[in-house]
Amino acid sequence: MRVLHEIRIARLRIPLSRPYRLAFGAVEHYDTIVVELVDDDGCGGLGEATVLTGYTDETIEESWAVARQFAEFLAERGPVPARLELLRLGERYPFTATAFATALEMLAGTARLAVATCTPVPILGLLHAIEASAAAAEFEALLADGYRTIKVKVGFDVERDARIVRMVQSIVRGRAAIRLDANQGYTAAQGAAFVRALDPAGIELFEQPCAAGDWESHLVVARASPVPLMLDESIYGLSDIDKAASLGAAAFIKVKLMKFVTLERLAQAIERIRDLGMTAVLGNGVATDLGCWMEACIAARLIDNAGEMNGFLKARSPLLAPTLEFRDGKLWLQPGYIPRLDPDTVERYGVESVGISPRAARAAAAG
């Protein structure tokens, strides 16, 4: 069993290259907590929690406080009790728990993060522009860069959103699949009005029209929609997946590592979605290259559609070294890749950090 030598946690504020528009507000930086574990042999494990309040109930301030407390627990008690405690912690703080759980999985040498050969994972491209000429130029650039699935953000104003979607369809002309994402921005009546205005041509799916817990409103939209619906914010565990299937609420289910705490539980969720006759979509658009790399490793084995783990492309600086290889609209996973934190990024964007020696912590606890 590996013996922990050092636990390091850092709170970062990583600026984005451009604001990321969501129905509940623009994201201009990532509030990220990074966990780094090192054992006596010098092997490492990494994990991240990028906290997006509004998507999750967690806030960066409380998550940082919880991370500091759990780092002390891990130092005093060790990995085995910590893994059990993380499942409990994940019920209230899933993002924070995931940072520690995945670091422990990586430190243990999980096969989930390994590929045997160079493996491409196609990634979705985001279409930002809402004016015709700019949108046309942006789409042509995405197409030239190898993207074959694009996402358009809606959930702002029904008439405006429908007009933008029609414009995008006229630009794309079947050359890429279109995903629409409302990020919970509509009421039931607004969502139903939006889908009734849609021409389904070229639209792969419509994501999360209504508030996460408002299943009734979502069903109103689903019953009116000519395109398949996908749930994202509504899904935080296997029970939510089961509920979506029993209600016939969606053809697609979006999953993210930060909602399932461990890589193993994420893989189990994807398999459950498939067993229930739905299609899983994987990926976090608000995560650093660390979380995106982990999700891509899972996608390489279990997902056959464009991944949404494109958060690393939004950040101004990569968190990892060596940097991830991205070309032709794909994230290329390399065999034997061992990520390390880029010290320049950690220093430049660091807000606060803590380092703990487990040996010292256990000695202090023993009195």
Q: Which band of pLDDT confidence, cut at 50, 70 and 90, is reported for residue 113?
A: very high
pLDDT of the residue at 169: 98
Token pair in block for residue 174: 């079947």
Domain boundaries along the sequence of the chain: 4-112+342-366, 119-341
Taking only the tens place, the pLDDT of each residue in 80-95 is: 999 999 999 999 999 9
pLDDT of the residue at 242: 98
Q: For 119-341, which CATH superfamily applies? A: Enolase-like C-terminal domain (3.20.20.120)
Partners of 15 in the β-ladder: 29
- Other Cβ atoms less than 10 A from the Cβ of 63: the count is 24
CATH architecture for the domain at 4-112+342-366: 2-Layer Sandwich (3.30)
Sign of CA dihedral 268, 238, 210, 204: positive
pLDDT of the residue at 365: 73
Q: Is the pLDDT of residue 110 over 90?
A: yes
Q: Is the pLDDT of residue 1 over 60?
A: no
Selection from 45, 37, 101 nearest residue 264 by Cα: 101
Provide mean pLDDT across the span 118-122.
Answer: 98
For the beta sheet containing 25-39, the strands, ordered from the edge strand earlier in sequence to the opposite edge, are 44-50, 25-39, 4-22, 350-356
Q: What are phi and psi of 157, to 5 degrees?
A: -145, 130
- Other Cβ atoms less than 10 A from the Cβ of 32: the count is 27
Describe the crossing of helices 238-247 and 263-275 by its angle, rounded to 10 degrees: 10
Q: Is the pLDDT of residue 252 over 90?
A: yes
Q: Is the pLDDT of residue 23 over 70?
A: no
Taking only the tens place, the pLDDT of each residue in 334-347 is: 999 999 999 999 99
Taking only the tens place, the pLDDT of each residue in 41-68 is: 888 999 999 999 888 889 999 999 999 9
pLDDT of the residue at 22: 75
Question: Quick check: pTM over 0.85?
Answer: yes
pLDDT of the residue at 20: 83
Q: Which band of pLDDT confidence, cut at 50, 70 and 90, is reported for residue 360?
A: confident
To 5 degrees, how large is the angle CA 219–CA 224–CA 228? 80
Q: Is the pLDDT of residue 151 over 70?
A: yes
Q: Which band of pLDDT confidence, cut at 50, 70 and 90, is reported for residue 364?
A: confident
Percent of the chain surpassing pLDDT 90: 91
Q: What are phi and psi of 108, to 5 degrees?
A: -75, -5
